[in-house]
Amino acid sequence: MAKYGKAAFVLLIIGVAVLLGLPQLELISQATLNIFTLGIIWSIATMSLNLVLGYTGQASLAHGAFLGIGAYTFGIMAQRVGMNFWLSLLIACLMTAILGFLVGLPSLRSKGPYFAIVTLCFNVIIFKVFENWTWLSGGYQGQKVPRPSFLTERWARYYFALVMLILVILVVRQIVKSLLGSSFIAIRSNENLAESVGIKSFSTKLLSLTVSCFIVGLAGSLLALQNGYLDYTITNYLYSFYLLIYLLIGGVASLAGPVVGTFGLYFLLWQLEKTMGEFSEFRWLMFGLLLIVVIIYFPMGIVGGAKRFWEWIKKKYYSRRGEVYG
């Protein structure tokens, strides 16, 4: 298992290296660069959901709300309060983490699908609040989000998002490959057994959700920064489902899964929209079909399927050489 982890990690590093070179090659247009940047930002958000759903087994459907809260905290701090960029970013992440903690306090007492429903309700409430409380959200017009001077160029924002993604992947990796991570995984696997071997499930789940919210707050801030403006639709609960779908298709409980799923789907959907012209609405249909196929045949997503394929290849190879596989 450790071996696969390493192989996937190496692939991930290669992927990141390719992404690093992209703007330099001048092969892609400014519009494509924008899509790539957004793909990276959504990957960060999916990564955060992976921590709480993939590793800890708690299906939060409030990540759309947390994304919006992160974005708005950043936007309000930077634009209306006029705070320094880095400080705004930090406060946005902290604010989202604190709210995640407060939401987790009551909601994590429910389990499984009930937790999903409670968090979805929270997201709907937040959406309605932002829709109607125009003083806070700016309503339909939204508000502007200022960019610091070093992030005015598209490629600069691309690199900035990429560095943040790498940081997030590294942090999540350190967490899940530790004794703390083993607590998370134990709760996902069998919560009753975990409690009977002394794991404090409630506080562990709360920690997982809080860290996850910190990361999704970062994603929200980056999204606001990239778009340059903000309106209430960023808190939409549909985003919670998007993140869920990206994660399921990419592969839960793996480090590469969220990035592969998010990037792949985000880019695919954008390409389809471009090429299909007036039939572009049909892309959602294909999206649905893809989801069904992946869930039936690759329950661990694309990355899980790739691991199984790799396993199969290795078995073939060893049996051909007449060696015992193991």
Partner 1 sequence: MTLLKVEGLTKRFGGLVAVNKVDFEISQGSIVGIIGPNGAGKTTLFNLISGALPPTGGKIIFDGTDITGWRPYNIARQGVTRTFQTTALFEELPSWVNLVIGYRMRTKTGLWDSILRTPRFRRERKATTQKVAEVMGFTGLGEYAQMTAGDLPQEAQKRLAIGVALMGEPKLLLLDEPTGGVGLGETEDIIALINKIRDKGITVCVIEHKMRMIMNLVDQIVALNFGVKIAGGPPDMVCEDPSVIEAYLGECIA
Which one among 134, 141, 178, 319 touches partner 1, defined by CB under 8 A?
Answer: 178
Which one among 199, 268, 269, 290 touches partner 1, defined by CB under 8 A?
Answer: 199
* Interface with partner 1, residue 179, by CB under 8 A: yes
* Interface with partner 1, residue 182, by CB under 8 A: yes
**Which residue from 239, 229, 244, 235 is spatially nearest to 126, judged by alpha carbons?**
235
Count CB-CB contacts under 10 A for residue 247.
26
Please check whether residue 49 is in contact with residue 170, taking contact to mean a CB–CB distance below 8 angstroms: no
Helices 238-250 and 283-297, packing angle to 10 deg: 50
CB of 199 to partner 1, least distance (A): 6
CB of 11 to partner 1, least distance (A): 22
CB-nearer residue toward partner 1: 236 or 254: 254
Helix (H, G, I), strand (E, B) or coil at 230: strand
Residues that bind partner 1 (rule: CB under 8 A) add up to a total of 26
**Which residue from 214, 11, 8 is spatially nearest to 93, judged by alpha carbons?**
214
Which one among 34, 110, 143, 201 touches partner 1, defined by CB under 8 A?
Answer: 201
CB-nearer residue toward partner 1: 202 or 287: 202
Which one among 132, 134, 174, 275 touches partner 1, defined by CB under 8 A?
Answer: 174
- CA 260, 264, 267, 270 torsion-angle sign: negative
> What residues form DSSP beta bridges with 230?
143
CB of 310 to partner 1, least distance (A): 17
* Interface with partner 1, residue 53, by CB under 8 A: no
CB of 190 to partner 1, least distance (A): 6
φ, ψ at 152 (rounded to 5°):
-75, -30
For the segment 262-301, give every residue that binds partner 1 (CB under 8 A): none
Query: How many CA atoms does the CB half-sphere of 12 hold within 13 Å?
Result: 24
Query: How many CA atoms does the CB half-sphere of 173 hold within 13 Å?
Result: 17
Q: Cα separation of 320 and 270, whole Å? A: 43
CB-nearer residue toward partner 1: 209 or 224: 209
Please give the full DSSP string across 86-118, using - where no structure is assigned: HHHHHHHHHHHHHHHHHHHHHHTTS-THHHHHH
CB of 64 to partner 1, least distance (A): 25
Which one among 70, 181, 217, 304 touches partner 1, defined by CB under 8 A?
Answer: 181
CB of 10 to partner 1, least distance (A): 20
* Interface with partner 1, residue 189, by CB under 8 A: yes
Which one among 11, 90, 117, 180 touches partner 1, defined by CB under 8 A?
Answer: 180
Return left, alpha or beta for 252; rule: phi > 0 is left, psi -120 to 50 is alpha, else beta. Answer: beta
**Which residue from 235, 181, 224, 231 is spatially nearest to 64, judged by alpha carbons?**
235
* Interface with partner 1, residue 324, by CB under 8 A: no
* Interface with partner 1, residue 98, by CB under 8 A: no
CB-nearer residue toward partner 1: 16 or 171: 171
Return residues touching partner 1 (CB under 8 A).
1, 171, 174-175, 178-183, 185-186, 189-190, 192-201, 207, 211
